[in-house]
Structure 1
Amino acid sequence: MSLLLTASLVFKGLAILLLGRVAWTDFSTQRISNRDVLLLLCLGLGTLHFHSLQTGSWLEMGISAIGGVILFAALFPFWLLRKVGAGDVKLMSVMPFLIGGTDLVIFSILLLAFAIATAAVVKNPFLLPAGMFRHYVQHLDRKGVVPFGVPISGAAICAIALQMYYALMVATSSGILQQLN
């Protein structure tokens, strides 16, 4: 396994841990800190840079930058209308850098599934087993707040885990083939 691939996998692992933290803090406090978003952006840029050095192409970086700008521009009016929080807009704008431009379709499908599940839990808290958790979700429903950072983080964690699995499978299979020849 190459050093660039190893560094990329370490950055992706750190991003998964940080996304877990973002999901928990957004769920518990309804806040996403700028520090966490900037750390995710740096981890995403580092991973994309490693990928660009491996492939010799900067196309992935360009697609991610365009995707980030488009997402920010599309979600900013919803923040002005107070439909989503500023942290959610910033977190979504960083996702193309973290996920990469080619895997945004997978991320979007996962995000849709997680967002539907989150909306179902918030609207139907009686489906949840624990009384305290049900009480908390009912409180969120009364306030009209949905911690959208949770489904964003969940979808990103799953997409990154798939990327890591695929990268490890390709690295392992190519290493085995080289040893046999």
Structure 2
Amino acid sequence: MLFGASLSIKALVIPLLAWVAWIDFSAQKISNRDVLLLLCLGLGSLQLVSIASGSWWDMGLSAIAGFVLFVALFPFWILRKVGAGDVKLMAVVPFLTGGNGLALFSVLLLVFAVATVAIMKNPFMLPAGAFRVYIQHLDRKGVVPFGVPISAAAICTIAFQIYATLALVVSSGILRQLN
């Protein structure tokens, strides 16, 4: 029951991450309210899993990873290489994906970040004229909405975790035992 509630919370995180990505893309802002809401949802999901499993390892690993990411990215914010919202969002992501999802998130973040840089440097790859003009405008300003690849990688990681958990439940026959 607690794992189901945790999955429901993770499912609520996906549209919020999509919202954060859209706002960061269109306005280059990630609000503290959205980051705090993501943190609360991530902590709630991890809390439910920790209670159900009887192990606090995943929550501890997420807290350590979040702290390390914040400390590692803070100097880049000081140097104005990334925005403060990006740093805070990266620090919250380990709570959303859990310790077991950090490796997948890291690989996906690398893929999405490279794709974002490629699109920013070569906007002619994009189909729509207005979209291309917007990307060229961002490139001239020297702004990269890094919240978009962070959110995309987190969404894909969470979706994979939900899929893997549901596949495990269906294949183990737990649903038949409950009926």
TM-score under structure 2 normalisation? 0.96
Displaced runs of 4+ in structure 1, greater than 3 A?
176-179
2:114 aligned to which of 107, 110, 116: 116
Which position in structure 2 is the counterpart of 1:37? 35
Q: Residues of 1 paired with 2:173 and 2:53: CA distance?
A: 18
Cα RMSD for the two superposed structures = 1.1
For these two proteins, the number of residue pairs brought into alignment is 177
Instruction: Give 1:7-18 correspondences, 5 Å limit.
Output: 7-18=5-16
Instruction: Give 1:90-105 correspondences, 5 Å limit.
Output: 90-105=88-103
Q: Residues of 2 paired with 1:93 and 1:78: CA distance?
A: 14
Unaligned runs of 5+ in 2: none
Which position in structure 2 is the counterpart of 1:68? 66
Which amino acid in the other structure matches residue 85 of structure 1?
A: G
Which position in structure 1 is the counterpart of 2:143? 145
Q: Residues of 1 paired with 2:175 and 2:129: CA distance?
A: 54
Q: Evaluate the alpha carbon distance shift between residue 177 and residue 168 of structure 1 in structure 2; reply closer, same or farther with a 3 A threshold.
A: closer
Which position in structure 2 is the counterpart of 1:132? 130
Q: Residues of 2 paired with 1:152 and 1:165: CA distance?
A: 20
Q: Residues of 1 paired with 2:123 and 2:66: CA distance?
A: 33
Q: Residues of 2 paired with 1:170 and 1:127: CA distance?
A: 40
Q: Evaluate the alpha carbon distance shift between residue 139 and residue 4 of structure 1 in structure 2; reply closer, same or farther with a 3 A threshold.
A: same
Which amino acid in the other structure matches residue 148 of structure 1?
A: F
Unaligned runs of 5+ in 1: none
Most deviating of 97-106 and 129-138: 97-106
Which amino acid in the other structure matches residue 53 of structure 2?
A: T
Which amino acid in the other structure matches residue 99 of structure 2?
A: G
> How far 1:5 moved relative to its partner?
1.9
Q: Residues of 1 paired with 2:169 and 2:52: CA distance?
A: 13
CA contact (8 A) 2:169 2:175 kept: no
1:156 aligned to which of 149, 154, 157: 154
> How far 1:10 moved relative to its partner?
1.1
Which amino acid in the other structure matches residue 76 of structure 1?
A: F
